[in-house]
Chains A and B, each alone.
Chain A
Amino acid sequence: MDEEELFGRLANSAPSVAPRDDRLGIAIDQVVTESRPVHRQRKRLFVAGATLSVMLVGGTSAALASQPLLEWLGFAPDQSIQHVNANGDYCAAGMIVRPEGVPNDDASFLAAKDIFLGIDFNTLKIPDAIRNDYKYSAAAASAKAEEIAEYNAAHPEATLQPALPDPETDMLIDTAYTLMTDGLKARGLDVGHFSLEGAGTCDEVSR
């Protein structure tokens, strides 16, 4: 038996596998998607309580975000917001739309970014569904504070430094995210092709 015949017979001896149809493709795709770590959520909010001696001077464009805020954020935000919260603290946050597993010219990602850049945070109304969400309630804040206190009691060597609560910033980012996903759905685009990342700080010094 020559080599060519042997190789042909070996190649033909491979056990058959399931046909690669659409249904199997979707099932494989779902396993891939679910295997990705949880921290890759589509929306990421991070509001920290670190003191930052910065006060934004108005407007909502990235160009108006000061250099200290840019350095603290670690990215150049697509939009930044600022307001005085219920405690009288001055809060600033930066937000950026990022592609999720797609190239930078992906249609869904570009549409999401376009919608986001069109949002005027000065006039943005927070819907009741978000404003009344439990996660923004006093009870939720109290429960979180209790969890942190318990953790700190158990870990005196490495206590958590809880963020100053600023539900208004979180609600504004949540509202923006909802507008983006609603807009994409209305256009028949994929809401999984982008993430909205936000980070902010409330600064008693600059009050």
Chain B
Amino acid sequence: MTRADRENHLETLIRANASDLLAYLERRIDPRADAADVLSETFIIAWKKAGKAPSDEIGGRMWLFTIARNVLLNARRTARRRLAATDRLRWELEQSQTGTDLSDATAVRAAVGKLPADLRELIELVHWEGFSLVEAAQITGITASTARSRYASAKGRLRTALAFAPEESLS
């Protein structure tokens, strides 16, 4: 594959996943507009690593989310590079209205938020972003068996929390 082929492949990959990557970041960043900065940084890093992008769509998607996750984890420690277009995306995110959450959603989210970070991240990747447990393990850099163990633990904790804590007390 020539460099031009690799770069065209990466651009196709990025375009196909850009909206989902932004959603992933929107759900984890406050204020939401800051997701624009992390998204652009994710793309810049992806381009720097273009030669390492998996050739298949699923592998490429996992690779991009792994980069986004790492940028997110480092977001508070590093100065982010800005693209001019980032400002427009920030503005669009600031202007957009989101729906009002149902009270149960708020309660469940609070229960998820009380989980240890490593358990919480798996639950969010699987149930908010739609990844399989194996894919979530790949993105977070753990083995599938570890992911299964943590996921089972997380589900048990959530069942307990949601069964014995009325939603009113969680919200």
In the assembled complex, the Cα of A3 lies from the Cα of B23 at a distance in Å of 25
Please tell me the number of chain B residues within 8 Å of chain A, measured between CB atoms: 50
Contact of A18 among B43, B93, B101, B155 (CB under 8 A): B93
Inter-chain contact A35/B99, CB cutoff 8 Å? no
Query: What 1/0 mask marks residues of chain B from 68 to 102 whose CB sits below 8 Å from any chain A CB?
Result: 00000000000000011110110111001111011
Inter-chain contact B8/A35, CB cutoff 8 Å? no
Least CB separation from A35: chain B residue: B43
Category for how many chain A residues contact B: 35 or more
- Contact residues in A for B4 (Cβ distance below 8 Å): 98
Inter-chain contact A6/B155, CB cutoff 8 Å? yes
In the assembled complex, the Cα of A6 lies from the Cα of B23 at a distance in Å of 22
Inter-chain contact B27/A14, CB cutoff 8 Å? yes
In the assembled complex, the Cα of A23 lies from the Cα of B104 at a distance in Å of 31
In the assembled complex, the Cα of A32 lies from the Cα of B36 at a distance in Å of 11
- Contact residues in A for B86 (Cβ distance below 8 Å): 31
In the assembled complex, the Cα of A35 lies from the Cα of B80 at a distance in Å of 13
A27 within 8 A of B: yes
- Contact residues in A for B15 (Cβ distance below 8 Å): 29, 32
In the assembled complex, the Cα of A64 lies from the Cα of B128 at a distance in Å of 60
- Contact residues in A for B131 (Cβ distance below 8 Å): none
Contact of B27 among A15, A24, A101 (CB under 8 A): A15
Inter-chain contact B102/A20, CB cutoff 8 Å? no
Least CB separation from A102: chain B residue: B8
- Contact residues in A for B36 (Cβ distance below 8 Å): 31
A155 within 8 A of B: no
B interface residues, Cβ below 8 angstroms from A: 4, 7-8, 11-12, 14-15, 18-19, 22-23, 26-27, 32, 36, 39-40, 43-44, 46-47, 83-86, 88-89, 91-93, 96-99, 101-102, 104-106, 108-109, 112, 123, 127-128, 155, 158-159, 162-163
